[in-house]
Amino acid sequence: MKKIKLFVITVLTALTFVSCGTTSTVPLTGRQHRISVSDEYILSLSNQEYKQYMAKAKKSTDVANTALVQRVGKNLANAVVSYLKSNGYANEVNNFAWEFNLVADKSANAFCMPGGKIVVYEGLLPYTQNETSLAIVLGHEIAHAVAKHSAEQITKQKNQQMGTSIVGNILNQTIGGNVGNIAAGVAGQYFSFKNLKYSRENELEADNMGLIFAAMAGYDPEQAIPFWKRMSSAGGNTNELLSDHPSDATRISALQKAMPTALKYYKPRITTSKKTTERAVKKSANKRK
């Protein structure tokens, strides 16, 4: 009985330590999460990693496609900043110093670091095929930064490490026999696996927010569906259980459910560069044939 009481006290102690942090509300979705790392820390880490990455990366020499990425990125950034300023998040705007780069990499990928440092790989353009689909992708990446998903994941990792360390140390002292170390190891493995689900939830939230950001910037959100179908047909993700991304089917279904809301924000933008955009994307695609 005493051991049970000690274990309960141990768990409560660990939970007390790991529950520290500031409650933050995600724009658009209204989801609340706790973050125990400062914006300054995240931005410093992000800037450091970004500089190291760009020092090794090879920037694209395709002038047209580079201009395309920068144009779409700026359109989205302007829409996001306008939304944040108009909806009680004006203090968040200073956290962003937007940069948009196209790099010579055949992977179909893109990412946005905290602070608005966005990188698109050339290999993604044959799948986006047009400016609107590129906006869908960049809206998703920007949403990760706006929702502070990186800070959320770092907070969870720190809390889990602290909690398992506390539990392990106290169990070693109260029960002995290396029980604490074993328990901490098992718990660490559990948290690592469970965090895959957290990452999938972040991805779906970024899809939802990104869809709306694209619509705010004047891009048709309905183009998200054919884009993800193209990605799926190219051998996308079908197994959720062991992945940190949702399956393409789950993603498409969630986007379809979110579409009516996104369309409320959509006002088509007037562009004069459609033919230039199409030529640029076709040129990129032809290089890979």
Note down pLDDT in tens along the chain; length 289 residues: 444 344 333 443 444 444 456 888 999 999 998 888 889 988 998 898 899 999 999 999 999 999 999 999 999 999 999 999 999 999 999 999 999 999 999 999 999 989 999 999 999 999 999 999 999 999 999 999 999 998 888 888 776 665 444 444 444 454 444 433 433 443 344 333 334 444 789 999 999 999 999 999 999 999 999 999 998 887 655 444 445 678 888 999 999 999 999 999 999 977 544 444 444 455 555 554 4
**DSSP 3-state of 113:** strand
Take residue 149 and report the two structure tokens written for it: 């998903």
Number of H helices, E strands in the chain: 10, 5
User: What number of CA atoms fall less than 13 Å from residue 25's CA on the CB side?
Assistant: 8
Take residue 77 and report the two structure tokens written for it: 């950034």
Q: Which of 96, 92, 199, 200 is nearest to 153 (CA)?
A: 199
- Looking at residue 94, the DSSP 8-state letter turns out to be G
- Residues with active-site annotation: 141
Phi, psi of 23 (to 5 degrees): -75, 125
User: 97 and 148 in contact (C-beta within 8 Å)?
Assistant: no
Q: Which of 139, 123, 149 is nearest to 46 (CA)?
A: 149
Phi, psi of 22 (to 5 degrees): -110, 135
Q: Which residues contact 201 (CB under 8 A, 6 or more apart)?
A: none
User: pTM value?
Assistant: 0.76
User: 142 and 219 in contact (C-beta within 8 Å)?
Assistant: no
CA torsion angle for 89, 220, 73, 200 (degrees, to 10)?
A: 70
Position 271 scores a pLDDT of 58
Position 42 scores a pLDDT of 87
User: 213 and 76 in contact (C-beta within 8 Å)?
Assistant: yes
Could you report how far apart the first and last alpha carbons of the chain are, in Å?
A: 70
